[in-house]
Structure 1
């Protein structure tokens, strides 16, 4: 049995859904399908999930957003019409959207998550209906029916271990099963969504629960590239990666995969293959537990902007027991999550996503640090970017850091921070956002040309 997940671009239109139907039925072992919400059909298009969020936020503050509502209905109606499906499918989709809007108006705390999930739910209803229309026995399976149980953390659900036993029971069914991604249910039957891009997480959870032989993740690229192709022309394609490498790359800006998605598959040692819906014959990229020794230890260069550096300095900080804990406690109190915290003898940096610390909250955090920790200096540097070299066994290879710093020097980009710690898989560099592209291009020439 294979579990197959199709991303937003793969279900964005009737033509794409017809394409994935051919992919599904071309292999009898592709028996369980997970789908995203309809994505962009062209570069200026809007994803259905974004429209649902716009609509939900408007309803929440008592504003009717007729434009977003109609755009959502038009997207689903167009797909259903072009596939030649019965209008009853559209009625099912519209009913779920309207029910979710009603729940938001009634101030139901799960109403917004319910509305956000309507994109994936609509895709699953349409794909299952179209497979049946084409003569293949297929069932839509709601995550509640599948047994996907999660913790009650709206917008950031975590799966409960008992879900995997429930999912295994789906192996008894003989028809093709289509499951909407992105959401599950608490034990109290409350709908809760994963974080954005969470359909990848659903796919991995389902593959782990079913103990699938392979988890195929279809997207719109032939494979994973070793660097962002928007920064480097014709970068090298990666035919294979380990789970740890892919997780590091996903976390640090590779948009192919959600950074949490591989964990369930990794625990069950289920191989993952990233493939292209528009070119299904391409071999794709295999992600596995272990790989034989490679000639090159750096396999990828990930990069992302939108960070800030919270820098704190205090003389004899290293002798002050609990300083780091109290600093991070202030961030926790203010509901700010951090990414990295490299430190020295008298100073400490905390790397934070910029959206986590808006300007109004910044003043509160800085004042609390001054008052409660009596520091010599505290400052915030915004417009930071992170660049990550990724590869198994890098820290056992002589000269990686030297080659990397030389590449930054050649690019004329100053390194603001270096962080490796005990990781064997990655080495991270912080730079100003303006130097990101030049630094990545220089690193690519150093390690791949």
Structure 2
């Protein structure tokens, strides 16, 4: 049995949904289908999830939501008419949204989550109705019916481990296809919680693990994961296979094909993932698998850049001898809900790389004041406008000269990284560079990865 997930671009129109249904029909083992909300039909279009966010804002402001509800439903009506379904399908969705607008919620975040989840919820109902209309044995199944429960808060939910026990007891009917909405489920109090954006990938991964799938197929609008962003590098090479941890590192650094959190359940279960293209379903796609099942032909599997980081730099003599120094700093950040990405340090210096989305001028001023009062640094400086460049490859640890060659390639391009950090696993090298130089850094390292790689003298 396969779990198969389709992204928003695969479900944006009736014509795209027709392709999806053809893909499902081609393989009877594709019994569990996870759907996203309808995506953009053109570059200037608006995603249904964003339309729902606007609806939530109107409800919070006490405005009449009727017009916005019709804008949202027009997307579903278009698909309904493409397949010749009766109007009662969308009418049911209309009444559902009206009930949501009148409901009460524990707080603003819960209201927004409840509305933003409806893109997937309503699309799963519509897709199941279309498939049934076409003579398929299909049915909508909600996360609640599957026994999936979440913990945490809206927008950052995590699956409750008891969900896997419930999923293991769920029997997918023989010869049937179940259609499940991605992105959301419920907490134990019955409130809607959502995963981070791109969370339908997470739902698919949870179902693959819980239902014991043989393969998790993730359909999107590209045929492969590429070694670099095609918007930065012209015609980068396709990656046929990569390891779980390589994909995690690349996804974290900005590879938009797959959410970096989504791999965790399939990693735990040892289930392979196949990235495929809805518009070219016969392309083999990229396989993500355990390390033992992957053979590499390049020491550098991929390189990616992610913008939007600030560095907090502290200088304080004998940091290495002051017990609890880092703990004090982390407690201050936690007080303001701020996490860090990387924390390279020396005997007298420490740098924290922080996602700028967590910071406001007020929060930075408050953190600065707390650090000065509690830690008394000799120097404190905020260094804005950084990008993180990740160089990823299981082969990195096999070539002792490779990091040096990367530094030479960057130097030849006139780029000087301000932070260099290689983790204990040695498959990922993190560099920070000025945001304006991030694309040039990716191109320089990608060009190095394409050169003929001979073993260093010590290995020959």
**Shorter-chain TM-score tier:** over 0.9
Describe the superposition over 1:339-365 as per-residue Cα deviations: whole angstroms up to 9, x where unpaired.
111111111111111110112211111
- Which residue matches 2:162? 162
- Which residue matches 2:187? 186
> Structure 1 residue 197: deviation in Å?
0.7
> Structure 1 residue 187: deviation in Å?
2.1
Whole-Å Cα distance in 1 between the matches of residues 323 and 15 of structure 2? 62
Describe the superposition over 1:272-314 as per-residue Cα deviations: whole angstroms up to 9, x where unpaired.
0000000000000001112355342210101110111111111
- Which residue matches 1:377? 379
Higher mean alpha-carbon deviation, 63-72 vs 214-223, is at 63-72
> Structure 1 residue 164: deviation in Å?
1.4
Q: Residues 359, 104 of structure 1: CA spacing in aligned structure 2 closer, same or farther, 3 A cutoff? A: farther
> Structure 1 residue 376: deviation in Å?
1.0
Whole-Å Cα distance in 2 between the matches of residues 338 and 403 of structure 1? 28
> Structure 1 residue 14: deviation in Å?
0.8
Whole-Å Cα distance in 1 between the matches of residues 94 and 429 of structure 2? 48
Q: Residues 213, 328 of structure 1: CA spacing in aligned structure 2 closer, same or farther, 3 A cutoff? A: same
- Which residue matches 2:24? 24
> Structure 1 residue 96: deviation in Å?
2.7
Structure 2 counterparts to residues 393-412 of structure 1, below 5 A:
393-412=395-414
Structure 2 counterparts to residues 76-155 of structure 1, below 5 A:
76-103=76-103, 110-155=110-155
Whole-Å Cα distance in 2 between the matches of residues 116 and 221 of structure 1? 25
Q: Residues 107, 409 of structure 1: CA spacing in aligned structure 2 closer, same or farther, 3 A cutoff? A: closer
Do the aligned partners of 2:299 and 2:449 also contact (CA within 8 Å) in 1? no
Equivalent residues, number: 449
Normalising by structure 2, what TM-score? Answer: 0.94
> Structure 1 residue 393: deviation in Å?
4.4
Do the aligned partners of 2:172 and 2:178 also contact (CA within 8 Å) in 1? no
- Which residue matches 2:60? 60
Whole-Å Cα distance in 2 between the matches of residues 133 and 52 of structure 1? 27
Which segments of 5 or more consecutive residues in structure 2 lack a partner in the other structure?
452-460
Whole-Å Cα distance in 2 between the matches of residues 25 and 114 of structure 1? 32
What is the DSSP-based 3-state SS (H/G/I as helix, E as strand, rest coil) of the residue aligned with 1:302? strand
Higher mean alpha-carbon deviation, 182-191 vs 59-68, is at 59-68
Describe the superposition over 1:15-40 as per-residue Cα deviations: whole angstroms up to 9, x where unpaired.
11111000001100000100001111
Do the aligned partners of 2:397 and 2:426 also contact (CA within 8 Å) in 1? yes
> Structure 1 residue 385: deviation in Å?
0.3
What is the DSSP-based 3-state SS (H/G/I as helix, E as strand, rest coil) of the residue aligned with 1:173? coil
Do the aligned partners of 1:93 and 1:118 also contact (CA within 8 Å) in 2? no
Describe the superposition over 1:308-339 as per-residue Cα deviations: whole angstroms up to 9, x where unpaired.
11111111111111111111110000111111
- Which residue matches 1:248? 249
- Which residue matches 1:304? 306
Higher mean alpha-carbon deviation, 49-58 vs 292-301, is at 292-301
Higher mean alpha-carbon deviation, 393-402 vs 125-134, is at 393-402
- Which residue matches 1:286? 287
Do the aligned partners of 2:209 and 2:269 also contact (CA within 8 Å) in 1? yes
Which segments of 5 or more consecutive residues in structure 1 lack a partner in the other structure?
none
> Structure 1 residue 69: deviation in Å?
3.5
> Structure 1 residue 59: deviation in Å?
2.2
